[in-house]
Amino acid sequence: MSATMPGADASQRFIFENTDIRGEIVRLHHSYLSCVQGKGYPDAVARLLGEFLAAASLLATTIKFEGRLVVQARSEGEIRVIMGECSSDGAIRGIARYEETPGSEQFSELLREGTLVITIDHRKGEPYQGIVSLEGNNVAEALQTYFSQSEQLGSVFYFASDRDTVAGLMLQQLPPQMEKDPEVRKGQWEHFSTLASTITDEELLSLPNADVLHRLYHQEELRVFPPRELHFACSCSRERTARALSALGREEVESIIAEQGGVEISCEFCGTEYNFGPGELHLLFESAEDGQSH
């Protein structure tokens, strides 16, 4: 897949005129590669992570918020945790954690007995979190189950991924506004979601958005919005790393320093290395202890 592929690292919204149905297409290339490079993920894990990134990107564009949206699965299977994040600024990052390198390509083995957690971390205010058991045979089915349990409105998702690119298509029913007749609404939803289901992985991965929409909906009245750019960026910082370090406890950290002369921590998302010398740790613990003494 070429780096100049149209619509890469962007999501694009469309609506069907005179209905309460909207859609979104996302395609990630550079941002996806930045998340998987150097991690040594097996193909199946990289592609799955890509779909979590695409899922987070699709959902982040459908709500008004400031902060980050995280789509995460935790499981008893070969992957312990996998998560994709997208911020309200379009910054993407993600990671998969496991103890032994997964050998399976099956969703049900990789994420056996899993839970799906969707978190909206608001920059100001309390986070929102929704948790359901992970159902279905892929990320799209798991999300559909999530939304069917939490909302009365229809949602469908399609994802396709390879080692270079990941793409997603979402259709969502909105509360009645343009069309209030429940029967008509139902008919519209069935019509548009059935057409969406005819998209193939190959088409979703390789066609520009305009061609995907033409292929699915050339007979419909569509309004297509300008694409929204997405990019890889990590929210790690020296301060956050220091806070994580202080959670180990003073004794533990002091013993590492005694042995190694300092502590080196690298961010598991982006690989940035943070080094703390003995003097800095001293300050760190004093300020952490001050913070707790209230």
Q: Summarize as ranges the residues that interact with Zn ion (CB under 5 A).
A: 234, 236, 267, 269-270, 272
Q: Which residue in 177, 224, 293, 285 sits closest to 23, CA to CA?
A: 224
255 backbone dihedrals φ, ψ, rounded to 5°: -70, -35
Residue 272 Cβ vs Zn ion, minimum distance, rounded to whole Å: 5
Q: What letter represents residue 252's amino acid?
A: E
Contact 137, 143 (CB under 8 A): no
Residue 240 Cβ vs Zn ion, minimum distance, rounded to whole Å: 9
**Which residues is 267 bridged to in the sheet?**
none
Which tokens belong to 137? Answer: 């045979």
Rank residues 89 and 201 by Cβ distance to Zn ion and give the closer one: 89
Q: Which residue in 159, 222, 224, 225 sits closest to 192, CA to CA?
A: 222
Residue 266 Cβ vs Zn ion, minimum distance, rounded to whole Å: 8
How far apart are the C-alpha atoms of 2 and 196, rounded to whole Å?
25
Rank residues 157 and 276 by Cβ distance to Zn ion and give the closer one: 276
Residue 171 Cβ vs Zn ion, minimum distance, rounded to whole Å: 33
Which tokens belong to 85? Answer: 């994040």
Rank residues 23 and 94 by Cβ distance to Zn ion and give the closer one: 94
Rank residues 187 and 271 by Cβ distance to Zn ion and give the closer one: 271
How far apart are the C-alpha atoms of 170 and 61, rounded to whole Å?
11
Residue 86 Cβ vs Zn ion, minimum distance, rounded to whole Å: 15
Rank residues 86 and 169 by Cβ distance to Zn ion and give the closer one: 86
